Amino acid sequence: MEETKSREKFSSGLAVFFATLGSAVGLGNIWKFPYLTGQYGGGAFLLVYFCCILFVGLPIMLGEFYIGRKARKNAVGALKQLKPGTSWKNIGIMGVGAAYMIMFFYSCVAGWVYFYLFKAISGDFIGITMETAKAQFGSVIMGPISPIIWQFIVMAVVASILAMGVKQGIEKITKTLMPLLFVLIIICDIRALTLPGAAEGVTFLFHVDFNQLTAAAILTALGLAFFKLSLGMGTMITYGSYFTEDNNMFGTAVKVALSDTLVSMLAGLAIFPTVFSFGMEPGAGPGLLFMTIPLVFSQMPFGSFLLVAFFFLTAIAATTAMLSLVEVPVAYWSEERGMPRKKAAVVNAVIIAVIGVLATLSVDKASMLGNITFFGMGFFDFFDYISSNILLPLGGLFIALMMGYAIKREEVVMELSNNGKLKIAKLVSVYFFLIRYVTPLLLIVVFLNSIGILKF
C-alpha cells in the first residue's frame, strides 16, 4: 500500500492526454505510416487501417488503461495484482520483451532523425536534388560509425528524461512539445499541397482499389494499428497506471486515437504530393521520409530554417514515443526488481543501445551485418516484423480475452465510469460486444491467415 501511495501520477487530464498522445505519435506517423501506405497501395490500405483502429485498437487501448489504472502498477505487476497466481502476467512479460525489440530498431531510426537534424542545422541540404537526397540517405544509413554514435546519443537523451521521473520528465516534455508538432506538420502540408502535380499524391493516398488488398496488406495494417497506438506491449498499461482518478478513459482513448490518425494523415499529405511532384517511387520503403522532406523544404522560402524545425519536431515525436517504450522496462525493473529508477533508466538505455547496434548495422543488404538473416530478414527487419506483426497483436489478443472473459464486468464498469460518476452504460455495452467477440475474432482470423491456415 505504501508503495502505491507514493507512486507518481500525471497532474491533470491535459497531461494525461499529451503524454499518451506523445506515446502514440512518433516515427510511426511520420516515417512508417507513409511508407507502408505507399508500399501497400494507398487508399484501400488506409481503409483497412481505419477499421483496425476502430474495432481492434480502441477496445484494446481502453483495456490497457483499465488494467493500468485499476492496479496502479507496471505492466507485469498490474497483471499479477489483478489476476494473482495465474498466467495472465505473461502478457506483461511478453510486453516487456516486445518493448525491447521495438526499441532496438526504433532507436536506430531515431538516430537517423537526430543526424538529419544535425545536418539540417549545418546546411547540408542546401541546393539538394533528388539524386543527392538519395545519396545522402545512403551514406547516413551505411555509416557504419556515425549512425551508431547517433543511436547512443538518442538513448542518452531518453534515459536522462526518464531518470527525471514521470512528472518532471515525461509530462513536462510531452506537454510542451506535442502542440508544436501539429503546427509544423501543417506548414509542411501547405507547401507540399501547393507543389505542381500535388493532386496525384492526394489521389494516391485516398484512392481505394480493392485489388491491392492482399493478405499481407491486411496483416500489416493490423500490425501498424498496434504499433501506432502503442498497444499490445504494456505501454498503455504503464501509462494508465499514472492516470488521474477522474480521467474519462473512454474520452482519452478516442481523443488519442483520433489525434494520432490525424497526424498520420497530415504526414501522408506532406509526403505523397512531394513524392509525385518529384517523380519518386511511393513504395520506396524506409527511406521515403528522409529523401522527400529535405526536397520539399529546399523548394520553399525560409526552407533551411523550416527543415531544421521539421527534423527537430520529428526528433521530439520519436523521443516522446521512446519515453513510453523504455518506461515499460524501467517501471518493471524498478517496481518488480527493486532497482532504483535512475539506475533502471541508465541500465535499460545501455542494453538497448548495445543490442540496437545489430539493427543499425543490418539496415541494408550491403550493410556490415546485412548478410545475416533470420527467415530471410536481417536484424532490423526481423525486430520490426516480430514485434509489430506477431508480439503486439498476440499481446492484444490476450488483453482482449482477459478483459472480455476473465475480469468481472461490474469491476470494469466501476473503473471506466470512475465509480459511477460518468454515465457510460451504453458505451460499456458496445465495449463488451467488441472486446468479447469482434476484436478477438478479427485478430484470430488475421493470425490464422498470416500463418497460412486460413486463406482469403
Site of interaction with ligand PFF (CB under 6 A): 23-24, 26-29, 102, 227-228, 230, 233, 235, 321, 324-325
Q: How far is the CB of 177 from ligand PFF (least distance, A)?
A: 15
Q: How far is the CB of 328 from ligand PFF (least distance, A)?
A: 7
Which residue, 261 or 439, is less far from ligand PFF as judged by CB?
A: 261
| Range 170-173 contact pairs with CB under 8 angstroms and sequence separation of 24 or more | 170/19, 170/22, 170/320, 170/323, 170/324, 170/327, 171/10, 171/11, 171/15, 171/18, 171/19, 173/22, 173/316, 173/319, 173/320, 173/323
Which residue, 392 or 407, is less far from ligand PFF as judged by CB?
A: 392
Which residue, 189 or 327, is less far from ligand PFF as judged by CB?
A: 327
Give the residue nearest to ligand PFF (CB).
Answer: 28
Q: How far is the CB of 37 from ligand PFF (least distance, A)?
A: 14
Which residue, 128 or 400, is less far from ligand PFF as judged by CB?
A: 400
Alpha carbons within 13 angstroms on the beta-carbon side of residue 347 total 12
* Cell triple for 453: 491456415
In sequence order, the 6+-apart residues with CB closer than 8 A to the CB of 6 are none
In what helix (H) or strand (E) does residue 325 lie, and over which residues does it extend? helix 303-336
Which residue, 276 or 383, is less far from ligand PFF as judged by CB?
A: 383
In sequence order, the 6+-apart residues with CB closer than 8 A to the CB of 163 are 169, 341, 342, 345, 346
Q: How far is the CB of 57 from ligand PFF (least distance, A)?
A: 11
Q: How far is the CB of 24 from ligand PFF (least distance, A)?
A: 5
Q: What whole-number distance in Å separates Cα of residue 289 and Cα of residue 141? A: 13
* Cell triple for 374: 533470420
Q: How far is the CB of 111 from ligand PFF (least distance, A)?
A: 15
Q: How far is the CB of 335 from ligand PFF (least distance, A)?
A: 18
Which residue, 52 or 128, is less far from ligand PFF as judged by CB?
A: 52
The percent of the chain in helix, strand and coil, each rounded to the nearest 5, is: 75, 0, 25
- Phi and psi at 377, nearest 5°, equal -115, 145
